[in-house]
Amino acid sequence: MMGPDLTWYLAVSAFLFGIGALGVMLRRSPLIVLLSLEIMLNGANLALITFSRHHGELDGQVFALAVMAVAASEVVVGLGLIVAVHRRRLELDVDKLSTLRG
Amino acid sequence: MIAAAWLCLLSPLGATLAITLGGTRWSRRGAGYVATLSVAVSFVASAIAFFSMLGNASEDRSHLSTAWTWLSAGNFDVGLTVLVDPLSILMMLIVSGVGALIVGYSIGYMDGDDEERRYFAYMALFVFSMLLLVQAGNLLLLLVGWGLVGLCSYLLIGHHHDRPQAVAAAKKAFIMNALGDATMALAFFLLIQRTGSLSFASAFDWSGGAEGSWAVNLVALGLLGGAVAKSAQLPLQTWLPDAMEGPTPVSALIHAATMVTAGVYLLVRTAPIFEHAGRVQDLAAGLGAATLLLAGLIALVQVDIKRVIAYSTMSQIGYMFLGAGLGAYANSMFHLMTHAFFKALLFLAAGIVIHALAGEQDMRRMGGLRRYLPRTYWAFLVGGLALTGIPPLSGFFSKDSVLASALAAGTYGQILFVAGLAGTFLTGLYTFRMLFIVFGGEPSPYAQEHFHRPDRSEPWLWMGLTVGALTVLAVIGGWLQIAGVWHPLADFLKPAVEPLVEPSGTQDFLASLGAVALGLAGIAVAWAIYSARTLTVPTARSARTLLEHKFYFDELYDAVFYRPSALLARGLRDFVEGPLVLGSLTGIAFGARRLAGEVTALQTGLVRTYALAIAGSVTLLALVFVWVK
């Protein structure tokens, strides 16, 4: 296998996932939260593809493609929601959007 | 013969279904025609079965016909079986013949009622139930008919369901009958446990081998309980007078053709069991004698025309119980038959009176109707004389043969014979008290005001013709059997039930002499008090109150059964249902709601806390997996 060692790929993947997770948990703007989610998904994708290459099989790559499709749909819905929230002249802050509180 | 029997059974059921399913597509009178026709078809079919049975030798007159296996559990099988033998043929003829006349009469009587279709559907169902009861080829099917008869009586007594008394009377009849059904069911359980079957033959065989054992006695007692409830004998008699809330033809049907005669039929049908439980059979005879006296006494003070006739039915059924209990089965069935004729006649004639007086049943408001309703008067007179047992009318032959059998049945029978004789005096007295009050004297002001004359329109024609037919039957019905001279009925029934007592000619003569003399004496006293007014009613206040309260049976049952159970129910409601059942339910609901309140607090609405919770949980899971590995 060419290129760096498997560990490096996984390290990058974990790093991406960690950045994303922190972003989701710490940032308040829904737009950034959505971006961070994408980063998490891509971190996971990277791990899938790494192992797929490592084992020389294609199924990990197929999974990654499926995840991308799901991620794209999710972004569509998420952005749509953000636009809707904005249209109603609400503040774009996930902490203030808490009407679903029990 | 078998096909005719099945046709006889199913024809009224077909009418019920047709009327019920047809609904408003039938005209009101059309429903009446269909019901009458179906019962008439039953009568013709049973007549055909009867004549084809006469063609068979007397040993070959009992036939079982099974349509299919109805119930099957382990080695216990019950078929949908009809039994055609002389006894059931006789009952079929009576039920469908008198039933057809009564249903036909209803076309006139119920004309203009709001719910004629429902009424006729139930009438046909009633006849079907009774036919099922008498044709049943095993005890379970008999119980089915038994229960259906009770149901139909409930439906028909409560026909005027907007009247609270009618509803109460219907419930009372049903509950009293359910009591009898229950004792019969218990007896059948015991039979199944002992013999593993509910066929007549196996039950009779078993009772023969277990003569006098407690099991036979219990089974007989259970059957007697059912018979007593259905036939309104002591101590379950209180429902019958209240059942007068139903329309008059229903009373006639209950009293003459269906329902109350079922108890007598049961005693005769299961006679082998009773014969092997001698004391229970004696008890049946004793209950009959007690009831006939009690009912005769109560009838003396009743003011409702239908109630007087109702008590006379109780009294006459008492005679039949007396006869059947002493083993004079054929004579008892003979009295059942003539009673069906003259009792239906009395009820239907009383129905004409009630109809002509715009629904009035209180005899105190009647009087002098002889002038207004001469033909009804004659019909009523024939019915009354037949009921009292004056020769040559039907009641004379049958009642006297029952009494003669009692005279021939040993000391116990002779004691009951005296009671029966006293009963004939009472019969004459209360019957002619009613007759003189209703028809004698000058027309009462009420009658003058409210009377409307029967005309030649169709309703009145139906009523007049059926009453006429029953008058003829009440006159000639008794000639079927003349004690000591000829007895085709007893011979016909012999293959089915063998009588235990045969009165001698002297006993027959003595019984007739006593009964007729006392009956005439009763009539004479009634005449002296209510027509000639040379005698006055003795003013024994306490005795009168006792009779007017029907010997306080209702009050007694109220105090012994109703009040304690109502008290118990109230106690259970206050101390068990309230705190325990309802309390636990509200407790559960309240607890669940509070728990939900706690859980909702977890839902903060802050998306980031959710994310944190997910991340934390995933981390925790990952750690657990790693650690477990």
- Under a CB-based contact definition with an 8 Å cutoff, are residues B198 and B184 in contact? no
- Residue A10 is predicted with a pLDDT of 92
Cβ-nearest to B608 among A95, A100, A101: A95
ipTM of the shown complex: 0.81
- State which residue of chain A sits closest to B599, comparing Cα positions: A102
pLDDT over 80 at A89, yes or no: yes
pLDDT, average across residues B307-319: 87
- Residue A79 is predicted with a pLDDT of 92
- Residue B119 is predicted with a pLDDT of 86
Question: Distance between CA B86 and CA B61 in Å, rounded?
Answer: 7
| Across B56-60, B302-306, B379-383, least confident range | B56-60
Cβ-nearest to B607 among A21, A94, A102: A94
pLDDT, average across residues B142-152: 89
| A25 to B612: CB separation less than 8 angstroms, yes or no | yes
- Longest CA pairwise span in chain A (Å): 54
Contacts within 8 Å (CB) and 24+ apart, B204-212: B204/B272, B204/B273, B207/B272, B207/B273, B207/B275, B207/B276, B207/B277, B208/B272, B208/B276, B210/B276, B211/B276, B212/B276, B212/B277, B212/B278
pLDDT over 70 at A2, yes or no: no
pLDDT, average across residues B2-21: 86
- Residue B483 is predicted with a pLDDT of 65
**What is the nearest CA distance from B583 to chain A, expressed in angstroms?**
29
Q: Which residue has the tokens 């959505």?
A: A34
Question: Distance between CA B287 and CA B231 in Å, rounded?
Answer: 11
pLDDT over 90 at B64, yes or no: no
Identify the residue among B599, B603, B606, B619 best suited for mutation to test binding to A, counting A beta carbons within 10 A and taking the highest.
B606
- Residue A39 is predicted with a pLDDT of 94
The most confident of the ranges A63-67, B74-78, B459-463 is A63-67
**Which residues on chain A are in Cβ contact (under 8 Å) with B599?**
102
Which parts of B282-396 are beta strand (E)?
A: none
With helix as H, strand as E and coil as C, how does B202-269 read? HHHHHHHHCCCCHHHHHHHHHHHHHHHHHCCCCCCCCHHHHHHHCCHHHHHHHHHHCCCHHHHHHHHH
pLDDT over 70 at B261, yes or no: yes
Consecutive H or E run containing B448: helix B445-450
Question: Distance between CA B212 and CA B207 in Å, rounded?
Answer: 8
Structure tokens at B21: 């399913």
- B612 contact A CB<8A: yes
| B604 to A98: CB separation less than 8 angstroms, yes or no | yes
Question: Distance between CA B567 and CA B104 in Å, rounded?
Answer: 47
Residue-wise pLDDT tens digits, A21-80:
999 888 888 899 999 999 999 999 999 999 998 888 888 999 999 999 999 999 999 999
- Residue A1 is predicted with a pLDDT of 52
pLDDT over 80 at B542, yes or no: no
Note the pTM of the prediction, 2 decimals: 0.76
**What is the nearest CA distance from A18 to chain B, expressed in angstroms?**
11
Residue-wise pLDDT tens digits, B569-603:
998 888 888 888 888 888 899 999 999 888 888 88
- Residue B59 is predicted with a pLDDT of 72
- State which residue of chain B sits closest to A22, comparing Cα positions: B612
State the count of interchain CB pairs (< 8 A) between A and B.
36
pLDDT, average across residues B510-526: 83
pLDDT over 90 at B549, yes or no: no
pLDDT over 90 at B357, yes or no: no
Picking from B56, B58, B127, the residue whose alpha carbon sits closest to that of residue B95 is: B127
